[in-house]
Amino acid sequence: MKFFQICMTAPLVALCLTLVQPSKAAEPLTLAEAEAKAVAANPRLQAAKLDAVAAKDRTAETFGHHFGELSLVGTYNHFQRDRLVVPMARELFANPALGMSQIPMDRNQVHYGLTWQIPLLAAGGLHEGDRMARLSQSATEHLALFTRDQTLYNVRAAYRNTLIVNHALKAARAYQKALEKDEADARLKVKIGAMAPVDAAKITYALRGAEAKVAEFAAQSETAQSYLAALLGEELPDGGFELSDIPGEPAAPAGTSKDNVSSALAGRGDLLATRERTSIVKHKKRLALEAFSPQLVLEATYLRNNGPSMEDPRYTRQWALMVKIPLFNGLSRVHAVQEADANLLAARQREKAKELEIASQVKDAEGRLDAARALFQAGQAQRGLGREVARVERLKLEQGTGKMEDYLAARGQELAGETSYWRGLYAYQSAVDYLAFVTARGENHE
């Protein structure tokens, strides 16, 4: 009564209305929302995206080398005696009557200005560098897409695994609750002599096992939800996630095993990245071979030259073509070519290993699909049979024609059947999803 009297004061009406309103239940986290969260916040996926951004900038950086380098340069010199501030030139003798006195000399000299170097021939460094940068960018982008596919598959699998454990926990709690009622009834029957104490003890024994199952499934649920939260890039909220079921039998993918392998070898992002890395090594070998070629650089310089004893600064400008022909450097270029040969052979072996790995993953996915389909069918049968057997055994026990052992075994089978159904359903869905992932037939490749 006092609570409602206080609420009648105008300033507190809104607050009281808020207090008496029932709290709104948290909205379930759907699979689509979980996928969206992972795409936006999964740390591993974000790192892959940033790697792709860095690779794009690295490609632009490499192409910028074609334009040369413009620099602001400056020097300050202090010599023992006066020296020429600018190089000797005919223009310094503009007045023959003055002779050498008109030549600028000073012990302390300042030179500053601009210099621009443009590579004309760079022994393959420019063109091969561009090709390698573009291939590296493409490989990084393919890996980012593959990481996205992999992350989404992991989220779906973790989501379904959590649902499996949650359904097992729900069934175990229902089993425990039913046994608790049976135990209470058994105690009354023992008191009136309608049940033997040993049968009541059997119920208590089964109840202790059910309680252990509930604790086991509760721990598994927390572990599964923690892993799901990590994939989403966030902390597990208090109370865990409330997830939505994904009903319905998935459609089995069409296509032969050969088609699956061909699709995987043609579209897997990790394999495409491996092939592009092999191409990068090929270009590195070409670069090692072209290191024997001459280099040509155009350099232009514009300087302001001055000294304390000079009235006016002198300006100089020049441009030069510099040719560099490699002759000998301790056979380092020869060894670089040999290193490139070995790296190319290693890259081809890695590419072959990746192809074999992907083919084996496809076979594994097909095997998982067959096993999961059989598990789902068995779970459907076990679920219906377990419920029916438990119902019949309970009726028989109530009518005095059944045995306690048969009843408890039937209840255990009912729990196993319910758990097997959900495990089979979500394992089948995940197997279909896994085959789509390993064959590059997921959403990024449709």
**What is the CATH code of the structural domain delimited by 68-122+293-325?**
2.20.200
* Range list of H helices, 125-196: 125-192
Closest of 167, 162, 158 to residue 419, by C-alpha:
167
* Sheet of 295-306, strands arranged across: 69-84, 105-122, 295-306, 314-324
Architecture of domain 27-67+124-291+330-445: Up-down Bundle (1.20)
Tokens standing for residue 87: 């190089």
Closest of 420, 391, 446, 439 to residue 164, by C-alpha:
420
**How high is the pLDDT of residue 3?**
39
What is d(CA 26, CA 22) in angstroms, rounded to the nearest whole number? 12
Q: What is the dihedral of CA 208, 213, 214, 217, to 10 degrees?
A: 170
**How high is the pLDDT of residue 26?**
57
What b/e string do you get for 366-399 counting C-beta neighbours within 10 Å, with b at 16 or more?
bebbeebbebbeebbebbeebeebbeebbeebee
**How high is the pLDDT of residue 10?**
44
Walk along the chain (446 residues) and give the pLDDT tens digit of each residue: 443 343 444 444 343 434 444 444 457 899 999 999 999 999 999 999 999 999 999 999 989 988 999 999 999 999 999 999 998 877 777 666 555 667 888 999 999 999 999 998 887 788 888 999 999 999 999 999 999 999 999 999 999 999 999 988 988 898 899 889 888 988 998 998 888 898 889 889 989 998 999 999 999 999 999 999 999 999 999 888 999 999 888 887 777 889 999 999 999 999 999 999 999 999 999 988 888 889 999 999 999 999 988 888 999 999 999 999 888 888 888 999 999 999 999 999 999 999 999 999 999 999 999 999 999 898 888 888 888 887 887 788 777 777 777 777 877 788 788 888 888 899 999 999 999 999 998 654 43
Angle at 139 between CA 144 and CA 261, to 5 degrees: 85
**How high is the pLDDT of residue 101?**
66
**How high is the pLDDT of residue 13?**
39
pTM: 0.80
Q: Is 297 helix (H, G, I), strand (E, B) or coil?
A: strand
Domain extents in the chain: 27-67+124-291+330-445, 68-122+293-325
**How high is the pLDDT of residue 5?**
45
DSSP string, 243-291: BPP--SPPPPPPS-HHHHHHHHHHH-HHHHHHHHHHHHHHHHHHHHHHT
What is d(CA 195, CA 323) in angstroms, rounded to the nearest whole number? 108
